[in-house]
A = this chain, B = another copy of it.
Amino acid sequence: MLKIEVCLSPQLIHLFELKGKIVVVTDILRATSCMTTGIASGVAKIKPVATLDECRALKKDGYYTAAERNGEKVEGFDIGNSPYSYMEERFSGKKIATTTTNGTLAITKSTDADEVIIGSFLNLSTVANYLINKGKDIIIHCAGWKGNYSLEDTLFAGALVEKLESGFELGDDASFSALTSYKSAKNNLLETILGSSHAKRLEKHNIRKDIELCCTIDKYNTLPYLKAGVLIKK
């Protein structure tokens, strides 16, 4: 039977065999919610990079630049890490290079997999349907917060496990616990995530609207897909 595993942090991804599998990277607050929104809103390409310098350097190749550290937009970049920024008309058909505290690292650490796709509540069912049709083993890679566990990413993992559990075996304890956590939170998803430590850290940045958007299930039917280091529409 096909297997689904959940990696709770990029600090644990080396413990997983990625070859032959599809990795779903998730960073709900807010990197993969931004990527889903961007690709759904017509951004042609999104290139995730690890450092501010790499991101800045891509300006000369025609990229708009997005940079966030510790929840804030970094000075000198076009945008930060709000999904609403990724909806702006000026980015339609254009390229964005992005670097964030957690999400971009999780992507760059997943590239040994057969495929890397981007998951968020915004495209939950689209991700699930893609995985059901592909019929490969799956790892859900939670970006976490600075290497540690984060609730909102685990809840997304649980939501995806719930969609898949009829066709996949739960391959580890983390997938079981993520599913349990999601089931107990699903009727109060926004409130639960607002109570997470990450949301509390972001409180001072006044982004409640962002968080509400990031908790919206199936707003888009778009699948961002990593090809040669760049996210495009599948």
A42 CB–B CB distance under 8 Å: no
Taking the closest CB of chain B, its distance from the CB of A26, in whole angstroms, is 14
A151 beta carbon closer than 8 Å to chain B: yes
Of chain B, the residue at the smallest CB distance from A8 is B149
> Contacts A181-B177, A181-B181: A12 and B198 contacting too (C-beta < 8 A)?
no
10 A-B pairs within 8 Å (CB atoms) are namely: A9-B12, A11-B12, A12-B148, A148-B172, A148-B173, A151-B176, A154-B177, A180-B180, A180-B181, A180-B185
Tell me how far the C-beta of A81 lies from the nearest C-beta in chain B, rounded to whole angstroms: 19
What is the CA–CA distance of A171 and B201 in the complex, to the nearest angstrom?
A: 12
**A150 in the interface (beta carbon within 8 A):** yes
A181 to B151, CA, bound (A): 12
Contact of A147 among B12, B150, B174, B181 (CB under 8 A): B12
Report the interface size for chain A: residues with CB under 8 A from the other chain. 28
Q: CA A8 – CA B150 in complex, angstroms?
A: 11
Looking across the interface, which residue of chain B has its beta carbon closest to that of A7? Answer: B148
Q: How far is the CB of A93 from chain B (nearest CB, A)?
A: 38
Specify the chain B residue showing the minimal Cβ separation from A174.
B149
Is residue A184 within 8 Å, beta carbon to beta carbon, of the partner chain?
yes
A129 contacts the other chain (Cβ, under 8 Å)?
A: no
A145: B residues at CB distance < 8 A: 173
> Closest CB of chain B to A30's CB: distance in Å?
16
Task: Write out the residue numbers on chain B whose beta carbons fall within 8 Å of the beta carbon of A149.
Answer: 8, 12, 172-174, 177
- Minimum Cβ distance to chain B for residue A171 (Å): 8
